[in-house]
Structure 1
Amino acid sequence: MLNSYWLDANMSTDDVWKKICLAFPILADNECSRECPEDNVLEEIKELKLNKCIEDIVICRIEQIMRQKITPDFWSRFSERKTEIGGFERFKDAVDFLYNSFSNFLPMLENLEKFRTISRINRVIYGEETLLGTFKVIVTSTLLSQLPLTHQIITEDFYKVSFKVFCNADKSDVDQDESSEDVVQCGGCSHEIEQCHCQAILLVFHETNRKLIELDLLERLAGEVITTLIHIRIENHVQESCKGSFDTSYISSLESWLSTVVMGWLTHIYNVNAVSTQSSIKKFHQKISHFLYETYTRTRIEQLFNIIIEYPDSQPAVEDLRICLQKTDLRLYLTQKLQRALETRLLHPGVNTPDVLTAYVAAIRALRQLDPTGVLLETVTLPVRHYLRWRDDTVRCVVSSLTEEGPSELADELVRGEALQLDEGAPSDEDMTNWEGWNPDPVDADPSKTSKSRRTSDIISMLVNVYGSKELFVNEYRTLLADRLLSQFTYNTEKEIRYLELLKLRFGESQLHYCEVMLKDVYDSKRINAHLHSDPNFKLDRQQFPSTAMILSAQFWPPFKEETLELPDFVKEHLQIYTKAFETLKGNRTLSWKPHLGSVNIDIELKDRKFNLTVSPIHATIIWHFQTKNQWTVEELSQLMHVPATVLRRKIAFWQSQGMLREISTDSFLLVEESSTRSKCPVPPDMVCEDEETESAMASAHDQREEELQVFWSYIVGMLTNLDLMPLERIHQMLKMFASQGPTAVECSLRELRNFLDRKVREHRLLFSGGFYRLPKS
């Protein structure tokens, strides 16, 4: 190409090449001259009419030198290092080399720019209008095209060292002032205090970054490394600051640390004098602020189970998390993480039901502060509600917590006296009263439930909603109340009346009418006993021992356990006298005694000791029989007392522990009238006997349910008598149509009915074949 131009210019090839190399020494492989050529040289080259061709040759030569010499030499300095300080020095040397090489090209670029002006050339090369911009593109692209795999190690060393020095710059002065004798090594440069290099490192750091900015290489070479180091530093700082501490808010201190330490370091990296740089710094500040919130939120989510358990002491941590959730998109992550933590650490057989309930109540309180809409609480605690529904003792634990003495979350909640809020699907008129402050529910809200029901439901309401039935809780309270009234052996009901009135506010008076009658029975029993013993016409004062009764209205009390006990004849005579006195007082009413319930106060006199005990009727009957005969077998006592041998054997163990009975052979016991060596634990006077486990006098929930299901049996027998055989589904439909009606209706699921019918099959009262049930032929 040049040959044709040279021929046209009537100049020899050597003359033309000399003139070009004089203006652009780089083409002759010489050092780039820093002196500008005379204008007449550029004018002469212009006359050669080689304008664009010369520009292309110069740029190609620049690319060749960058590719073959400068770039390999630059990356060769990113070799292995032994220490971070060594990496710091290597990075600094590499940037200095590149910057010096860049400076050597500047005079030649100025020449070419002048040549452009003289020749009136207006070209865009590699997207840049200026030759300096084109050269920077060439430098960047050439460096990145030969990027070695290990370049990040040296780059990280440079910025790690500088960040460490910067973070410890302020601390070092404070540490020296507080304990100058203890400080030996600088926390920034790791040298001795007297030989601290921190200031020199910061100067080198600032100068190196200035050169990279001038070359437009800072973001290309170090942007990713700087961002990664900042992220790591933020993560470490968040962990160090708030690990295991929930009683302090950290958002303000973290924001302050980010603005001073991290952004101060970035200010040293970027020269903020330029407006464009200030804008970039501001945008980067927004990005790392979001990363800070996200990191802190994830950290708190990882600790959320412990935060909930420690609530309300952990209220500052919950409030921080609430603020951060509004700034991040981690709501789904929180839901999944907390549900997994609850299932792993709480919802398994190794955790007692009271502990599960305590954690559930704490979760209700904490999550309500975290999300006032109640959507998060509803979603996260769904596995807990399902788990509690399948635990047999959940309702009893809840009722016990509601009415127990001492500090209790549920007892305090009951005292507040709010009305019970059950789940309702339809919105009320009150939902639209504050329409100006209305906000839509979050996207993960259940559309079948109103926001008002989620916001207003208190803790007790949520526990009731686990089962969706107030009747279940009322029935359990009724059973618990019966146990308390029958176990206290007194007529003091003031505390129970207080709890009952509080429960009325929650469940309504109609639901607790039976409990009112039970408490009235106790009061009436006290009054009747006082009247019968004070009236000489009833002759109760002439008995060998005074007897009182707790007179219960059978239809209002829960079913009792079916247990039998044959009392001694003289005791039955006393009870008969009491019955006649009651019949005389009440006219058309009588008493049906439960001999296994109650308490007996007895005086025991042996040859070498005397004491007084309050025991159950079965314990008193056992020891009474030993006054007629010194030795009894379990089988003999079982037949005489009409008590199963297994129960009797367990009750006798009490008298063995008191040293009054001794087992001389298997299931054969002897009365110990004299004891040469007293028991290590002598019986104190006026002792009250208590079994190892306090047994309920009421029938279990399973037994009560079995009794309710027996209502269906007569209907089933009638249906099978008329229709001969029926499938399970048909029997269930018929029972729902006829048996499950009326005020005392009993609900029965298909699964429960199948289990009930299968038990009847095992008892040979039903036959099952081919999917049909029928009665056996007599």
Structure 2
Amino acid sequence: MMNINHKKEDLKLYWNKINYAYPILDDKIFSDCTEAEYDEVQVLIVNLGVQIKIRDLVFVHIEKYLRQHVASSFWSKYIKTAEEVKGFQLFKSSVNDLYEAVSSFSPMLQRLTKLNSSCNDNKLIYGEKNLVLGFKQLVRATLLSQLPIDFQCIINQFYKISFNVFDNEYENSDMGEDIMCSGCGNEYSDCNCAYIVKVFHETNRKLVELQLLERLTGQVLTNFIQLRIQSHIQKVCTGTFDVSHIEALESWLNTTVMSWLIRIYCAGSSKPPPDDKNIQNAISRFKQKLTYYLYHSYTKTRIDQLFNIIIEYPDSQPAVDDIKICLAKTDLRPTLCKKLQNALETRLLHPGVNTPDILTAYISTIRALRHLDPSGVILETVTKPVRNYLRSREDTVRSVVSSLTEEGAGSELAEELAKFAAEGDEGDGDADKDEAWDEWNPDPVDADPKVDSNDRRTNDIISMLVNVYGSKELFVNEYRTLLADRLLAQSVINTEKEIRYLELLKIRFGESQLHFCEVMLKDISDSKRINSLIHQDKTIEELNKKFTSNAMILSAQFWPPFKDESLELPEEIKEHFEAYTKSYEALKGNRTLSWKPHLGNVNLEIEIGEKKLDLTVSPFNATLIMHFQNKSEWTLDELHQVMKVPITILRRKITYWQSMGLIAEKSTDHFVLVEADNKASVPSHQVQEMICEDEETESAMASAHDQREGELQVFWSYIVGMLTNLDCLPLDRIHQMLKMFASQAPGTECSLMELRQFLDTKVRTHQLVLQGGMYKLPKT
């Protein structure tokens, strides 16, 4: 070993030789030192035993030089600019300059590697065993430690321009005769796409060699591609629900986006090198991330459109299928539930939407969400506000029942009812369930554990609508009322159609629930037969010379209660009805008729001069105009006296004849018959209102509230009997006894809450006394 106790002059000579071999120590880049001269210096360093110190010293000076010169020069080009072409050139220039600066260190790194191999030091160089890799790590660390605020701007512009060229190549390979190139934006005579592609590949190659590609551009690329994915989804999928887009989007991602990324990582090659696992892993990670983002963005787009998708279902089933696929690959299930629920509440559940429209949307929602999520959990969660809102609307039940018995295409509930009957005829549903046991899936994690999963999965549309109110009886009673209205309103009754609907409803709701409706239809056919027999009576034949009548004879205990309206008929009409009643009594023995004069239709022939009218009007309007036959002028008070009808109703009803031009108001509440040549002058807007009034179809049945009040009165005699015999009873005991003894007629079932309200009403009217939770009769 050489003695190092040399003179000062000798050490200075040694240092000059070392500095000559490693000029970076004197802040110089290039060296004129030949290989032979370097070998002499390396021998000197080895003899001195300072290889490690020299290596570390060189790296200290390299780091200083990179920080002060290379990094500052590199980042000086990252200027925020609105010109994309300028940003493209700046990024290209910065990478080129950096690559040349780093390449200039190659001779020195070779010497350091040679020097480092002469000692047995296993120390990591900036975390790397290889000295060159350690140098690159130093370059990256130095650059990234000085990131400017807006460095992503020109990187984004560089990749935006290159992607436009690449995307144009895939989507518009047949450029036709267009004047402008959609890739670079220039005229075709000055197309710059080839230059952009060349610079693009060259720049990426240099970044890959410097191992700066992901560190410098990774986040910019991710953000840029995500924006491209979003814009592509919006362009392809907006407003179209009848086509599935998943495969097309996946194909676009693989052929366009991923091919572009592979060329970035592989310096222009269309396939990653088979032996480079790092690049393969990087591309694989990027693809996973972008694929998830594609599904996530597409799902969010479809969730925003889900209300319209549901309204258009089943035409929009491909879109629902796409959402179903995407929900399994993303975590957007809670988002879907929340947004769809908000959309339903905002766009559907308000007074401006008619109840039939809400029901139509609700039915579409059930069908679409059942297809989307067979478990029924999403449906249960989303439609809860809809069910609550429908429960608050008075006409919901009637709208449902009307839809169940509508004719023609488009009546979804009628189709559902027929479908239910057809499925019931096909065989045992339990056998199908047993065969499908291997297709069972557990409920999602957001399912309510208190709800039976089988009930949630098997509830059909009609069951869900019934469950809004929780009672079949309510729907059956509403159908009974609706059937009564239809039978009374039609001049020619199609009993075959009504029987067909009744049979379908019996399959769905049971025979016993609809027995009263069977009797109602039987009354119609019996009425035809009885009418023909009564018309053979000589007395009736004589009366029929003036006018004929056909009665609809109803079994009072089986029909819903009618509106309680008063109407005094003209004497000749009453005489005709009395004769009809006597004939009926003679035919039936111990039965009689109780007429409802305000119900039915009257066919009138009116002649005034040369003017003739054939009209079908209500008994009220017929009675009203008949009084003008004998007396041409009437006041409302006089009409009130003879017809026994409230003046307010008279004033409203008489407008029909005013609109026909037969009656005119001479002065306030004073009306006269209009002669043939003297048509009354009625303002056009008033005539329109009059016509609308006449066309308005009013139910002959009592309102649901009035009916319910009457039904509950059935209980009163039972309750009085209970309390007479047992003195006092609590609410629960009264309810149990009523269920046993007073629930034979339809509509007489009563919930505990409804019974409490009924009994409290009796307490307020002093018909009952409540003491200590016990009800009893007041002492007389």
Structure 1 length-normalised TM: 0.90
Residues 1:201 and 2:200 are matched in the alignment: no
- Tell me the residue number matched to 1:627: 629
- Tell me the residue number matched to 1:226: 221
- Counterpart among 503, 506, 519 of residue 505 in structure 2: 503
Residues 1:656 and 2:658 are matched in the alignment: yes
CA contact (8 A) 1:766 1:773 kept: yes
- Tell me the residue number matched to 1:599: 601
Distance 1:492 1:76, change over 3 A: closer
C-alpha deviations, 1:13-55, integer Å up to 9, x for none? 3112112113211112222338545423211111011122112
- Tell me the residue number matched to 1:335: 337
Q: Report the Cα offset of residue 133 of structure 1.
A: 1.5
- Tell me the residue number matched to 2:258: 263
- Tell me the residue number matched to 1:306: 308
Equivalent residues, number: 755
Decide which moves more: 647-656 or 690-699. 690-699
C-alpha deviations, 1:125-165, integer Å up to 9, x for none? 22111111211121111111111111111211111111122
SS in 2 for 1:614: strand
C-alpha deviations, 1:104-132, integer Å up to 9, x for none? 11111111111111233332122111111
SS in 1 for 2:616: strand
Q: Distance in 1 between matches of 2:518 and 2:772?
A: 50
- Tell me the residue number matched to 1:24: 22
SS in 1 for 2:672: strand
- Tell me the residue number matched to 1:645: 647
CA contact (8 A) 2:70 2:101 kept: yes
Q: Distance in 2 between matches of 1:193 and 1:723?
A: 104
1:538-549 correspondence runs (5 A): 544-549=546-551
Decide which moves more: 326-335 or 217-226. 326-335
- Tell me the residue number matched to 1:747: 750
CA contact (8 A) 2:499 2:521 kept: yes
Q: Report the Cα offset of residue 732 of structure 1.
A: 4.1
Residues 1:700 and 2:719 are matched in the alignment: no
Q: Which runs of 5+ in 1 are unaligned?
A: 422-426, 682-687
Q: Distance in 2 between matches of 1:737 and 1:514?
A: 25
Q: Over aligned residue pairs, what C-alpha RMSD do you find? A: 3.1
Distance 1:100 1:472, change over 3 A: same
- Tell me the residue number matched to 1:83: 83
Q: Distance in 1 between matches of 2:494 and 2:355?
A: 30
- Counterpart among 401, 412, 416 of residue 413 in structure 1: 416
Distance 1:335 1:749, change over 3 A: same
CA contact (8 A) 1:19 1:45 kept: no
1:6-405 correspondence runs (5 A): 7=5, 12-33=10-31, 36=35, 37-171=37-171, 173-175=173-175, 177=176, 180=177, 183-271=178-266, 272-273=272-273, 274-405=276-407
CA contact (8 A) 1:308 1:362 kept: yes
Distance 1:777 1:509, change over 3 A: closer
Q: Distance in 1 between matches of 2:756 and 2:693?
A: 39
CA contact (8 A) 1:708 1:746 kept: no
Decide which moves more: 56-65 or 373-382. 373-382
Structure 2 length-normalised TM: 0.90
CA contact (8 A) 2:78 2:150 kept: yes
- Counterpart among 453, 460, 463 of residue 462 in structure 2: 460
Q: Distance in 2 between matches of 1:705 and 1:477?
A: 15
Decide which moves more: 647-656 or 551-560. 647-656
Decide which moves more: 602-611 or 47-56. 602-611
C-alpha deviations, 1:616-642, integer Å up to 9, x for none? 211111111122322111111112211
SS in 2 for 1:604: strand
C-alpha deviations, 1:669-692, integer Å up to 9, x for none? 1112332458899xxxxxx99823
Distance 1:509 1:657, change over 3 A: same
Letter matched to residue 552 of structure 1: L
CA contact (8 A) 1:532 1:540 kept: no
- Tell me the residue number matched to 1:476: 478
Distance 1:385 1:89, change over 3 A: same
Q: Report the Cα offset of residue 250 of structure 1.
A: 1.0
Q: Distance in 2 between matches of 1:631 and 1:389?
A: 50
Distance 1:614 1:77, change over 3 A: closer
- Tell me the residue number matched to 1:684: none
Q: Report the Cα offset of residue 455 of structure 1.
A: 3.5
Distance 1:575 1:760, change over 3 A: farther
SS in 2 for 1:603: strand
Q: Distance in 1 between matches of 2:771 and 2:73?
A: 92
Distance 1:566 1:660, change over 3 A: same
Task: State the identity as a percent.
Answer: 56
C-alpha deviations, 1:312-333, integer Å up to 9, x for none? 2212111111122222221111
Q: Report the Cα offset of residue 235 of structure 1.
A: 0.5
Letter matched to residue 416 of structure 1: K
- Tell me the residue number matched to 2:668: 666
Letter matched to residue 442 of structure 2: P
Q: Distance in 2 between matches of 1:293 and 1:492?
A: 55
CA contact (8 A) 2:562 2:702 kept: yes
Distance 1:667 1:755, change over 3 A: farther
